[in-house]
Structure 1
Amino acid sequence: MVALNEVPRRSYTDGATPLEHLQRLSAELGGPQIWIKRDDQLGLTQGGNKTRKLEYLIADALNQGADALITVGGVQSNHCRLTLSAARVEGLDCHLIVEEDLGPEGTALGPAGSNPPEYTGNFLLFDLLGANSVTVLGHGADLLGEAEILADKLRAEGRKPYVIPVGGSNPIGALGYVDCAVEMLDQFAEAGVDSPTIVTPSGSAGMQAGLVVGLHSAGSNIPVIGINVSRTQADQEPKIVDLVDATARFLDLPPVPRDATTGLGDYFGTGYALPTPEMVEAVRLFARTEGILLDPVYTGKAAAGLIDLIRSGRFTSEDTVVFIHSGGVPGLFARTQAFA
């Protein structure tokens, strides 16, 4: 077994993120006791779950002598924002390759559902943080292929680029949430949170896979329910399982049972980053009851899933749920039309 504290790591957050009891939201929904893990308060520009992944990914890049980062994502990518922020902290160049969203029901981009590269939300922050380049491609482009072409170009110029995949979701990045699982177990014990279920957004799957591996390695049976933000259950769960297995192998851990992985695909609507009425309701409810802002792409849709599970009886007043706030709030300001 590879000890996690032996893996190179940078540090971008001072201490653990808060675990808070949402008393007013719990009362409003009349279901389980709801707690929230505030990973929106992680370090780097405006925080978010990718910060944990980047602590390991950036350490790996520096160990390889990298002087430039290349990463990819959507036009409002939280991961791109935080990778760029980490590059600024470390004195590295950073190149972003992003794709525009698809319109509702696969249509061309239109005013109601589109997310063009205008200077709002995260796209504004790419500019303020001074990305060395931002390449905007059409929806469905081969982003990683473009990243490798750019990496080859930089190598030909004598540079040493390091390519980070979508969401930082590979076994190295997932280590951030293996560590988070241990952090949360300590917090549960301190706060007296007994036998909870963890509910988390599930996109590129690094956060969920890391939590599953971390809990398994600690001998915990706490379930992790992912709420998919872009895929059906049939499409998402194999991606999560593959990353769970790869992360466990990286740490030389015993295999994780297949039934530890759940990714519910009923709540992403017509596509990734496209607003749904349920997301809008969830964002408003969290803000009105607890003063907590969610984002429209990840936590808003995951919270909508949680609310539906409560209303449909999946969780009762006897249960405890811990919701992971993965950040992404800057994206809210690129989706103001959805709340009009």
Structure 2
Amino acid sequence: MSHSDLLNRFPRVRLMRGPTPIQRLDRLERVLGERRRGVSIWAKRDDLMELGGGGNKLRKLEFLIGQAQSQGCDTVVVTGGLQSNFARLAAAACARTGLGCEVVLTQMVPRETEIYRANGNVLLDRLFGARVHILKAGDDAGEFAFQRAAEIAASGGKAFVGTLGGSTPVGALGYVDCAFEIAAQSTEIGTFDQVVIPNGSGGMHAGLVAGAAVGGKDLSQIRAYTVLSPADVCVAATVDKVNAVFELLGKEDRVQAEDLTISGTQLGGGYGMPTSRLVEAVRIVGRSEGLLIDPVYGGKAFAGLLSDIENEVIAPGSNVLFVMTGGSPGLYAYADALNSN
């Protein structure tokens, strides 16, 4: 069975146009100078998508919206943190496909500034027409979402509930497809020794690992930096997600903790909490390449990439691909942190 046949078995709504490009960050390489240890740094531009400001969650939403439509749903209810990229893109995808959308946002980050509460992704959620529910700290977003689904059903509708980050096995299929895409692009560019990503809710990492395994690739080349939970918790959760994707695909492959490479060095004070290394990473990419890396996911992962290159955790002379997951609207909610110093 071909790679396309493997995924064509699942309902899908196209929300992005073709493969996202890969570009070399040669200007950044020159700015880093000896710090880059001869490493070639490339970016997979998953921020370059037409819909909703772009970002990696659209890959998941192609399959999740497909699943919702196949079940006859007329509304999508999703959960996330206050500045959730997944919620923003779910709202945009629902606008594009004519579905109703409700986003259930929780206070996952201890930031109480007005700019954080009303700007960035929250602003865009409303702009795209979603009904926004902002819960108090400690409230159960999942319980609220299923309660809303029941209320929608009672009024004659049918709701699909999308969990945190869209990181279900079905959602992860979007990054199985991305793994196939990277493999195809590598035949023209050259093989990447490392593929570097952030790991939040784990769906992207799970899909890339499952796709790499199906394609016969070395799983150790995928290097993640956790931005949500401690490394041991992140590893365990991602192992479960990878194996669930294998089951969905009908594959007998399985992974264990030692098969995954996940670093906890960039987590800092926790999810959504800025670090000095994150700010430095966002600035150096902005000032050398004119590119925007988000302050929650990509910023911490790129900070880890720079640190591991300089400390030779990533081998000198390697060919490294950084997956730019998007999320740049979140920068506006972190203006106070990014403007400091």
Q: What range is the shorter-chain TM-score in? A: over 0.9
Please list the CA deviations of residues 187-208 of structure 1 after superposition, one character each: whole Å capped at 9, or x if unmatched.
01111x2242111010011101
Partner of 2:36: 30
The two structures have a TM-score, normalised by structure 1, of 0.93
Structure 1 runs, 4 residues or longer, greater than 6 Å off: none
Counterparts of 2:108 and 2:165, CA distance in 1: 16
Q: Which moved more, 1:16-25 or 1:65-74?
A: 16-25
Q: For 1:52 and 1:75, locate their aligned partners in 2 and report how far apart those are by CA, in whole Å.
A: 21
Of stretches 312-321 and 88-97 in structure 1, the one that deviates more from structure 2 is: 312-321
The 8 Å contact of residues 215 and 221 in structure 1, kept in 2 or not, is answered as: yes
Q: What is the rounded CA distance, in whole Å, between the counterparts of 1:78 and 1:221 in structure 2?
A: 29
- Give the match's secondary structure for 1:269: coil
SS at 2:117's partner residue?
coil
For residues 138-191 of structure 1, what are the alpha-carbon distances to aligned partners after superposition, in whole Å with 9 as ceiling and x for unaligned? Answer: 233211111011111111111100000111100000000000000000101111
Q: Partner residue of 2:91?
A: 84
Counterpart secondary structure, 2:273: coil
Does 2:214 align with 1:217? yes
Per-residue deviation, residues 248-282 of structure 1 (Å, max 9, x unmatched): 00001122332332221121211111111110000
The percentage of aligned residue pairs carrying the same residue is 39
Q: Return the letter of the residue paired with 1:57.
A: L
Q: Within 5 A, what are the aligned runs for 1:212-291?
A: 212-221=209-218, 223-258=221-256, 259-291=258-290
Aligned position for 2:61: 54
Is 1:318 aligned to 2:297, yes or no?
Answer: no
Q: Deviations over 1:293-320 (max 9, x none)?
A: 1010000011111111112111233211
SS at match of 1:316: coil
**Residue 334 of structure 1 aligns with which residue?**
333
Match of residue 194 from structure 1:
191
Tell me if structure 2 keeps the 8 A contact 1:101–1:116.
no
Q: CA deviation at 1:101?
A: 3.6
- 1:47 is displaced (CA, Å) by 0.4
Whether the aligned pair in 1 keeps the contact of 2:239 and 2:255 (CA below 8 Å) is no
Moved more, 288-297 or 27-36: 27-36
Change (3 A) 1:195 1:121: closer
Shift in alpha-carbon separation, 1:304–1:162, aligned structure 2, 3 A: same
How far is the alpha carbon of 1:15 from its aligned partner? 1.1
What SS class does the counterpart of residue 187 from structure 1 fall into?
helix
- Counterpart of 2:12, as a letter, is R
**3-state secondary structure, aligned to 1:72:** strand
Paired residue for 2:104, among 80, 93, 97? Answer: 97
State the 1:38 CA deviation: 0.4
Distance in structure 2 (CA, Å) of the matches to 1:322 and 1:251:
26
Segments of 5+ residues of structure 1 without an aligned counterpart are 104-108
Q: Distance in 2 between matches of 1:294 and 1:93?
A: 30
In 2, Cα distance between equivalents of 1:334 and 1:69: 25
User: Residues 309 and 316 of structure 2 are in contact (CA less than 8 Å); yes or no, is this contact kept in structure 1?
Assistant: no
Q: Distance in 2 between matches of 1:189 and 1:271?
A: 38
Equivalent-residue separation in structure 2 for 1:288 and 1:116 (angstroms): 24
> Which residue of the partner structure matches residue 304 of structure 1?
303
Matched, 1:44 2:51: yes
Answer whether contact 1:200 1:226 (CA < 8 A) is retained. Answer: yes
2:173 is the counterpart of 1:170: no
Paired residue type of 2:330 = G
Is the 1:101–1:115 Cα contact (8 Å) retained in structure 2? no
**Gaps in structure 2 of 5+ consecutive residues:** none
Local SS of the residue matching 1:235: helix
- How large is the RMSD of aligned CA atoms in angstroms? 1.5
Q: Which amino acid aligns with 1:217?
A: V
TM-score, structure 2 normalization: 0.93
Check conservation: 1:229, 1:297, Cα contact below 8 A.
Answer: yes
